[in-house]
């Protein structure tokens, strides 16, 4: 998918965030991207890079959580030859992107001392490799993505206040998908078209009943959840796609499971609750319920007989 294709939506809040990103893209100032998991921060970051002044330069997304703590410093700064036994010279993340874009995620998971190293690099536009004596220029543009409010992270002591001030030149907040429900049909159609694109088949038609079900969904996984749902619907091979083609996981939401934990429901009670939800969903049709549950109609009948008071 190209960056332009990914950023789809008519929701006013989303369009305002995109307009701000479009104005900020040509500059070199640091940017903050804030939004829940799966809301599209990575896609937006890459889009900003491609719309910027140096689209042909490298783009690097660096996850602090993916680097062991003892290696964080050398991964950021790089290593000079001879800094340790049998160590060859290698650049750190800030050097590797050159004049490109470095998108930082998981900063709140870094120790505050390593956060101070990043702060110094951003302020001084330069870096000294571990074991090195010469200052190397840093021309990268810095973006930072957060799932939580960075102000809250500062208040919790998980993010340095001075680092936030340095990064928070322009802040772009992406709304969760649950707040832009009108965009769900557009995005679903886009994902289905992309999934079928490689097979040179037209995207399936979608019946209104399916859209009605999607409008009621809370979308805790945001765009990521919607894309996964599109993949599940694509696997059915149905055309047109109907409400009945939605996978069981769509109906058994995380809240229902969490409620079961809160109420200390047994596995048998949770199973009974789910079966009855499926029966209600299919209007009491036991054949369809059995197909949905992946069991025979006889097995469902025997289960219901056992449960009958």
User: Which tens digits make up the pLDDT trace of 86-130?
Assistant: 678 889 999 999 999 999 999 999 999 999 999 999 999 999 998
| pTM, to two decimals | 0.78
Outline which parts of the chain fall under CATH 3.40.50.300.
3-175
For 57, 90, 110, the CA distances from 93, given in Å and listed in that order, are 14, 10, 15
User: Which tens digits make up the pLDDT trace of 133-147?
Assistant: 899 999 999 999 999
For 24, 33, 51, 247, 303, the CA distances from 27, given in Å and listed in that order, are 6, 15, 10, 44, 64
Best CATH choice for the domain 252-309 from the list 3.30.1120, 2.60.40, 1.20.1250, 1.10.10: 1.10.10
Q: What does the alpha-carbon distance between residue 139 and residue 109 come to, in Å, rounded to a whole number?
A: 25
User: Which tens digits make up the pLDDT trace of 227-244?
Assistant: 999 999 988 888 889 888
Mean residue pLDDT of the chain comes to: 86
Task: Kindly report the number of other CB atoms within 10 A of residue 221's CB atom.
Answer: 18
Domain 180-251 class in CATH:
mainly alpha
Closest by CA position to 62, among listed 88, 101, 36: 101
Outline which parts of the chain fall under CATH 1.10.8.60.
180-251
Q: Does domain 3-175 have CATH number 3.40.50.300?
A: yes
């Amino acid at each position: 998918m190209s960056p332009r294709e990914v950023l789809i939506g008519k929701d006013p809040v989303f369009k305002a965030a995109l307009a701000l990103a479009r104005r900020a893209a040509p500059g070199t100032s640091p940017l903050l991207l804030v939004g829940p998991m799966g809301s599209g921060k990575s896609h937006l970051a890459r889009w900003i890079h491609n719309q910027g002044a140096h689209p042909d330069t490298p783009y690097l997304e660096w996850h602090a959580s993916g680097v062991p703590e003892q290696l964080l410093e050398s991964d950021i700064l790089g290593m000079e030859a001879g800094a340790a036994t049998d160590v060859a010279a290698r650049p750190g993340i800030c050097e590797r992107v050159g004049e490109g874009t470095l998108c930082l995620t998981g900063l709140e998971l870094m120790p505050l001392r390593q956060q101070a190293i990043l702060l110094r690099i951003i302020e001084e536009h330069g870096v000294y490799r571990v074991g090195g004596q010469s200052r190397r220029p840093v021309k990268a543009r810095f973006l930072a993505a957060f799932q939580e409010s960075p102000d809250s992270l500062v208040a919790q002591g998980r993010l340095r206040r001075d680092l936030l001030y340095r990064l928070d030149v322009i802040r772009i907040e992406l709304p969760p998908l649950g707040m832009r429900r009108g965009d769900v049909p557009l995005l679903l159609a886009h994902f289905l078209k992309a999934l079928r694109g490689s097979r040179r088949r037209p995207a399936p038609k979608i019946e209104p009943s399916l859209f009605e079900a999607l409008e009621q969904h809370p979308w805790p996984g945001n765009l990521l959840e919607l894309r996964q749902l599109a993949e599940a619907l694509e696997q059915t091979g149905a055309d047109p796609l109907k409400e009945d083609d939605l996978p069981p996981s769509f109906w058994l939401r995380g809240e229902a499971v969490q409620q079961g934990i809160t109420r200390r429901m047994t596995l048998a009670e949770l199973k009974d609750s789910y079966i009855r939800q499926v029966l209600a969903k299919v209007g009491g049709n036991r054949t369809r319920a059995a197909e949905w549950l992946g069991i025979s109609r006889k097995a469902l009948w025997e289960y219901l007989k056992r449960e009958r008071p």
